[in-house]
Amino acid sequence: MMTDLHRNHWTISCYRQVVSTKQYQEILDRHGSWVFRNGQRADIKGKKIGPGRHEIWLEDN
């Protein structure tokens, strides 16, 4: 099952989400390194926070 970005949450500028490493890679494979948010490009950022876990968020360009 592909993990998709929770589009409603991505409209909030400070929203962060914890996902598995597999889900993180699926998001990058599906969307690349950026998405459109509110009509503007936003980079998908991530940080490993533990074994098999990543925190992801968007940063406006």
Lowest pLDDT segment from 11-15, 21-25, 43-47, 55-59: 11-15
Q: Which long-range CB contacts under 8 A does 18-27 form with residues at least 24 apart?
A: 18/49, 18/53, 18/54, 18/55, 18/56, 19/53, 19/54, 19/56, 20/52, 20/53, 20/54, 21/48, 21/52, 21/53, 21/54, 22/52, 23/54, 24/54, 24/56, 26/2, 27/3, 27/56
pLDDT tens digits, 16-50:
889 999 999 999 999 999 988 878 888 999 999 99
pLDDT at 38: 78
Q: Read off the pTM.
A: 0.70
pLDDT at 40: 85
